[in-house]
């Protein structure tokens, strides 16, 4: 699933992710950044994530509009000229 970071405290590693589809909020699992590309998170950052058995966000990865399947989102492509 995908969402955005609502809040993140780098001192305690506590944070909240808001899921895009229904605006549900999920706490970050302890050590949720270990083994990921992230060193810290910023508010509004888009991420993909899974839920652990306790319902906390884990396995964070980079997210994008393309991953989300946003309707009418077009990749950065040049228009094809008509002949």
Q: How many CB atoms lie within 10 A of CB 7?
A: 13
What is the pLDDT, as a whole number, of residue 58? 93
What's this model's pTM, rounded to 2 decimal places?
Answer: 0.73
**Dist. CA 46–CA 52, nearest whole Å:** 19
**Dist. CA 66–CA 69, nearest whole Å:** 5
Structure tokens at 52: 């652990």
Fold (CATH) for 2-66: OB fold (Dihydrolipoamide Acetyltransferase, E2P) (2.40.50)
In this predicted model, what pLDDT tens digit does every residue of 21-56 receive, in sequence order?
Answer: 999 999 999 888 888 888 889 999 999 999 999 999
Instruction: Return the percentage of the chain with pLDDT > 70, whole number.
Output: 76
Instruction: Return the percentage of the chain with pLDDT > 90, whole number.
Output: 52
């Amino acid at each position: 699933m995908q969402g955005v970071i609502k809040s993140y405290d780098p001192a305690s590693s506590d944070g909240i992710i808001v899921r895009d589809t229904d605006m549900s909020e999920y706490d970050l699992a302890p050590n949720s950044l270990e083994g990921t590309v992230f060193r810290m998170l910023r508010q509004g950052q888009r991420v993909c994530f899974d839920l652990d058995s306790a319902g906390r966000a884990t396995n964070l990865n980079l997210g994008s509009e393309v991953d989300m399947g946003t309707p009418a989102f077009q990749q950065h492509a040049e228009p094809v000229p008509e002949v």
